[in-house]
Amino acid sequence: MNAALAAAGRRPIETTIFAVLALITLLALIGPLITPADPILRVDPPFCAPSLAHLFGTDDVGRDLLSRVIAGVQITWLLSLLIIALSAIVGGLIAALGALAGGWVDAGLDRLTDLFMVIPSTLIAMAAVAAVGPGLSHTVGVITVFWWPWYARIVRAELRSVAARPHVEAARVAGVGGLRLMARYMFPAALPTLLVTATLDVANVILVLSLFSFLGLGAPPPTPELGAMTARTLVDLTTHPWIPLIPALAIFVMVLAANLAGDALRERMEGL
Amino acid sequence: MSAMAKTIGLILLMVMALATPAAPAPPQRVLKVAYADDVVSFDPDNAFLLYGLEALRVMYQGLVQYEPGTTRVTGWLAQSWSVSPDARTYTFRLHDGARFHDGSPVTAAAVMAYFQRRATPTLALSYFLDNVASMSAPDRLTFVIRLRSPQSTFLDRLASPWGPKVIGPGALVGHAGGDLGGSWLNEHEDGCGPYRLTEFSRGYRYVLTRDPDYWGPRPYFDRIEIDIVPSISQQMLMVRRGDLDVMMNGYPFDQLAHLPPDLRATGFDDLGEEMALVNPWHSLKDRKLRWAVLTALNPAGWLADDFDGYATQARSLYPKAMIDAPRPVVFPGDLAAARRIVAAHGPVHLQIGYGAEEGATQQRTAELLVSALARIGISATVMSMPTDQEPGLRDFPQRAPDLWLARNYPDAAHPGTQADVFFETGAPLNLFNYSNPSVDRLIGAAGQITDRAARDRAYLAISDALFADIAFIPLADIKDVIVYRADLTDLGTRPALPWGVDYATIRRR
């Protein structure tokens, strides 16, 4: 415990960043338990300025803005993590399958990855969501479809470099092969890179999710999505600026924290 | 004087001439407005316009119109008219001296030729004349219409902003093509109003220019410039900056109290009442559940602080400008009972839909309703769809939203036009195929009544019956709000002219 505190004292900025990240995650996990009001219910007249009664004020419908922002953080943060997890799993499995099979299977999967990487994924994803209809599950599914290739490419490169390392060669000479070689010796070596990439990617996914909801391609109203909350109340920017700005600020804090945490993690990994 | 001195003198004169400021050009009388959406067609017989309606009525004129600020019918091209004792023959006496923009005179024969075009069934608005049996032009300025049966809405249909507007022979003969001049009339006009359409750049701008040969009073503005500006936020910036003179709809209600001193806002009651259509074909099949929903949606619970005083609770299923009901509909008030019904029913999720044309206001109202429903334990989400796809809901009521928020505009100020379009069995905007034979009978009987007070009582009885069935829920009379530069006056708004000022009367002080 003391050692951990001492380490934290040595790296105060990193510690703060990870603390913010932990706070966001905690907020996302227990948000519904601590929101002061139901984010869907009207609690007071619309456009109440921030006060002790409503720390972030009320929105244009009279809902508690703090409660809606907490619910919005929950949706955005957890969905971002879900998309990254799904993308990493799909991408990692495709890369592992290619590395295991080799030959034309590897080449074919690599071309498939190339194909997904060269198309303008965000635009296509928007078109796809617009076609199938807005909704959280549609958004998550479509973004994941276009997000995994980056992970496949990174894991594949990492597995190729790991394959030439002495301990993998030794394992192979000792008769370890196939799935066991991948699971025991190769994939764990690629995991740190995958983790850093995923951490750095959280910010990108948050921005894409916010963009989708800003454009009305997220969950249907009145789901408290941060991008949609900002987009819908932009006309109030001059008269009741807190209503569009606070959700935008929440996006900014999440993106900044995720980016800085990714950087810090990468530096740590490179230092190892 | 030497040649050198002459040259220097000439140069000096030229320099002085160039340096002297030119006399200021007389200020051009230009009115700048904007539409958030494009105009599909300026053909008065073939397009249900909302944007462009006020432009159409200064390019074209009909026989009668509504007086500004009222729903009283007054003459327009017709200086007088009479109705036969059997209420089937309408005789119009036209103004002498009116001319079409093609230069030809407005005569009874020309008006009849136009009315024959209007009655062509292939045109979208031909139904306005579907009860016309015959027409005649006994002399140069007398036009007679004979109806198949008495129709109390007929004069209102003629005064409607979508009603017949006379097109000149220059278009009907000169540009007839194979489609009654329809293609040409999409982007041109041949009316007899005070303005001509002098520029039509689809998706970008329309310009109306004052007709120097107009037969009536000369309007103040020489030009009306109409830009297409889809973003309401941009329109707000433009009107605040002085780049627009009038913003005809969409200014957020909550910001009307914060207008800069050089802008004014005026609200007027139009014919578009905010109501909810209840879809009884899936989640709300159960009448008890519909009753619970009705209890939650009571506008008294959510309307007070919204719309900044520009809305009042609806008193019936007719807009206030059409019938100002002496006693309002009474919503059930037992929220606890509503909660019990929902709890006994099990989880209920509803979808609230609205047409995208009035997106900001409708979405806010829809979210207020979601919040109201949450109070009795019903969850709901909101969706919008293009307004022109609304009629398609009738074909798939099982997949349509459970509640449809509508601020639809009836054809005219006569309550019969509201009942015919929304409430009657098979009516075009009866989106969830509501059908009640006894209501149909009431509508049929009310249509025969000519005494206004008795007629209104009959239509209010229909409203009560529909409300009792929980088929249509009257929510609010929301005013049409126009934001305009403070030096403008005589806006000439009319309840039957949504989102519009009268370019023939508006002027600077």
**DSSP state string for A87-148:** HHHHHHHHHHHHHHH-HHHHHHHHHHHHHHHHS-HHHHHHHHHHHH---HHHHHHHHHHHHH
Residues of A in contact with B356 (CB under 8 A): none
Q: Give the minimum alpha-carbon distance from B425 to chain A in angstroms, rounded to a whole number.
A: 32
A→B contacts (Cβ < 8 Å), by residue, are 38, 40-42, 45-47, 60-63, 219-223, 232, 234-236, 238-240
Flag whether residue B306 sits within 8 Å of chain A, measured between CB atoms.
yes
In angstroms, rounded to a whole number, what is the distance separating the alpha carbons of residues B42 and B22?
A: 40
3-state SS class at A33: helix
pTM of the model: 0.81
Q: Under an 8 A CB cutoff, do B381 and A61 touch?
A: no
Among B236, B364, B375, beta carbon nearest to A61: B364
In the prediction, which pLDDT does A272 show? 56
> Confidence band (pLDDT; 50, 70, 90) for B45?
very high
In angstroms, rounded to a whole number, what is the distance separating the alpha carbons of residues B51 and B47?
A: 11
Whether residue B213 has pLDDT greater than 60: yes
Task: Please choose, from the candidates B47, B50, B41, B78, the residue with its C-alpha nearest in 3D space to the C-alpha of residue B197.
Answer: B41
In the prediction, which pLDDT does B389 show? 79
B285: tokens are 């099949």
Residues of A in contact with B365 (CB under 8 A): none
In angstroms, rounded to a whole number, what is the distance separating the alpha carbons of residues B296 and B492?
A: 39
Please name the residue of chain B whose CA is at the shortest distance from the CA of residue A59.
B364
Residues of chain B with CATH 3.10.105.10: 274-480
Residue spans of the domains in chain A: they are 2-31+63-271
In the prediction, which pLDDT does B309 show? 83
ipTM of predicted complex = 0.76
> Confidence band (pLDDT; 50, 70, 90) for B11?
low
| DSSP H or E stretch at residue B440 | helix B437-446
Whether residue B93 has pLDDT greater than 70: yes
CATH of B30-236+486-508, one of 3.40.190.10, 2.40.37.20, 3.90.105.10, 3.40.800.20: 3.40.190.10
A40: tokens are 């869907």
In angstroms, rounded to a whole number, what is the distance separating the alpha carbons of residues A28 and A15?
A: 20
Rank A107-111, A200-204, B71-75, B232-236 by mean pLDDT and report only the highest. Answer: B71-75
Please name the residue of chain A whose CA is at the shortest distance from the CA of residue B376.
A41
- A20, with CB counted inside 10 A (0-12, 13-18, 19+), is middle
Task: Please choose, from the candidates A228, A225, A193, A231, the residue with its C-alpha nearest in 3D space to the C-alpha of residue A68.
Answer: A225
CA torsion, points A195, A196, A200, A202, in degrees to nearest 10? 10
Q: Give the minimum alpha-carbon distance from A235 to chain B in angstroms, rounded to a whole number.
A: 6
- A130, with CB counted inside 10 A (0-12, 13-18, 19+), is middle
Residues of chain B with CATH 3.40.190.10: 30-236+486-508
Q: Under an 8 A CB cutoff, do A63 and B371 touch?
A: yes
Whether residue B86 has pLDDT greater than 60: yes
Q: Alpha helices, DSSP H only, in B375-419? A: 415-418
In CATH, the architecture of B274-480 is: Roll (3.10)
> Confidence band (pLDDT; 50, 70, 90) for A232?
confident
In the prediction, which pLDDT does A32 show? 82
Contact status, residue B232 vs residue B250, Cβ threshold 8 Å:
yes
Mean pLDDT within A164-174: 79
Task: Kindly report the length of chain A.
Answer: 272
Q: Under an 8 A CB cutoff, do A235 and B383 touch?
A: no
Whether residue B233 has pLDDT greater than 50: yes
Please name the residue of chain B whose CA is at the shortest distance from the CA of residue A61.
B368
Q: Alpha helices, DSSP H only, in chain A? A: 2-10, 12-34, 65-101, 103-118, 121-132, 136-163, 166-173, 178-181, 187-214, 226-232, 242-271
Q: Under an 8 A CB cutoff, do B305 and A45 touch?
A: yes
Task: Please choose, from the candidates B382, B375, B297, the residue with its C-alpha nearest in 3D space to the C-alpha of residue B342.
Answer: B375
> Confidence band (pLDDT; 50, 70, 90) for B10?
low
Whether residue B24 has pLDDT greater than 50: no
> Confidence band (pLDDT; 50, 70, 90) for B1?
very low
Mean pLDDT within B134-150: 96
Residues of B in contact with A238 (CB under 8 A): 255, 258
**CA distances (Å), B114 to each of A60, B23, B41, B104, B168, in order?**
49, 48, 18, 14, 7
Mean pLDDT within B205-233: 94
Please name the residue of chain B whose CA is at the shortest distance from the CA of residue A63.
B371
Whether residue A6 has pLDDT greater than 70: no
Q: Which CATH superfamily is domain A2-31+63-271 in?
A: MetI-like (1.10.3720.10)
Among A63, A223, A234, beta carbon nearest to B233: A234
Contact status, residue A67 vs residue A217, Cβ threshold 8 Å:
no
Mean pLDDT of chain B: 90
Tell me which of B14-23, B331-340, B358-367, B442-451 is least confident: B14-23
Please name the residue of chain B whose CA is at the shortest distance from the CA of residue A221.
B382
Model pLDDT for residues B257-281, shown as the tens digit of each residue:
889 999 999 999 999 899 999 999 9
Among A46, A220, A240, beta carbon nearest to B305: A46
DSSP at B129: G
Please name the residue of chain A whose CA is at the shortest distance from the CA of residue B308.
A46
Please name the residue of chain B whose CA is at the shortest distance from the CA of residue A234.
B233
Residues of chain B above pLDDT 90, percent = 72
Model pLDDT for residues A110-144, shown as the tens digit of each residue:
898 888 888 887 888 888 888 887 788 888 888 88
Q: Under an 8 A CB cutoff, do B381 and A234 touch?
A: no
Task: Please choose, from the candidates A48, A80, A88, the residue with its C-alpha nearest in 3D space to the C-alpha of residue A66.
Answer: A48
Flag whether residue B360 sits within 8 Å of chain A, measured between CB atoms.
yes
Model pLDDT for residues B162-189, shown as the tens digit of each residue:
999 999 999 998 888 888 888 999 999 9
Flag whether residue B302 sits within 8 Å of chain A, measured between CB atoms.
yes
- Chains A, B: CB contacts within 8 A come to 59
> Confidence band (pLDDT; 50, 70, 90) for B25?
very low
> Confidence band (pLDDT; 50, 70, 90) for B284?
very high
Whether residue B15 has pLDDT greater than 60: no
Among B232, B254, B382, beta carbon nearest to A46: B254
A155: tokens are 């894991």
Among B236, B252, B371, beta carbon nearest to A61: B371
| DSSP H or E stretch at residue B238 | helix B232-241
In angstroms, rounded to a whole number, what is the distance separating the alpha carbons of residues A10 and A4?
A: 10
Residues of A in contact with B358 (CB under 8 A): none
